[in-house]
Amino acid sequence: MFALFMLLAMLRGEARVPQGPEVMVIGTYIRSHLTGIEECYARRLQFRPDLRGRLVLRFEIEGDGAVADATAAGINDPKLIDCVVGQVKGWRFDKPTSPLQVAYPINLQP
């Protein structure tokens, strides 16, 4: 049944949750690109030294590997969120077999 759901989602071009090796590949890519997010956070710490918490990145990896519909939530700092989302929108993943919906938590602390 799950395979049928996955096939229907692929045929309709709907995003699905990464499975198996995709999870590891996406996680490795994100961890290798955290520098930009860490720089966003470091800049905001200059103005808000108490800024810390868990930020959840949500985005879709489109069929060409580009990021779409990027958001970040969990820390109440609009300038941090804007900077982080800008970083995520610039990421480019390997082309998936169908669009993927990703949620990735990041803990930020000085």
Nearest residue to 20 via CA among 92, 91, 96: 96
CATH number for position 58: 3.30.2420
Does some domain include residue 9? Answer: no
Question: Does some domain include residue 74?
Answer: yes
Return the pLDDT at 85: 98
In what order do the strands lie in the sheet containing 67-73?
A: 67-73, 53-61, 100-108
Structural domains in the chain (count)? 1
Containing domain of residue 41, as a range? 17-108
Does residue 10 lie in a domain region?
no
The most distant pair of C-alpha atoms in the chain lies apart, rounded to whole Å, by 52
35 found inside a domain: yes
Question: Could you read off the pLDDT of 15-57 as tens digits, one per residue?
Answer: 888 878 889 999 999 999 999 999 999 999 999 999 999 999 9
pTM of the model: 0.83
User: Which 3-state string (H, E, C) describes 39-67?
Assistant: HHHHHHHCCCCCCCEEEEEEEEECCCCEE
Q: pLDDT confidence of 13, banded at 50, 70, 90?
A: low
Determine, yes or no, domain membership for 27. yes
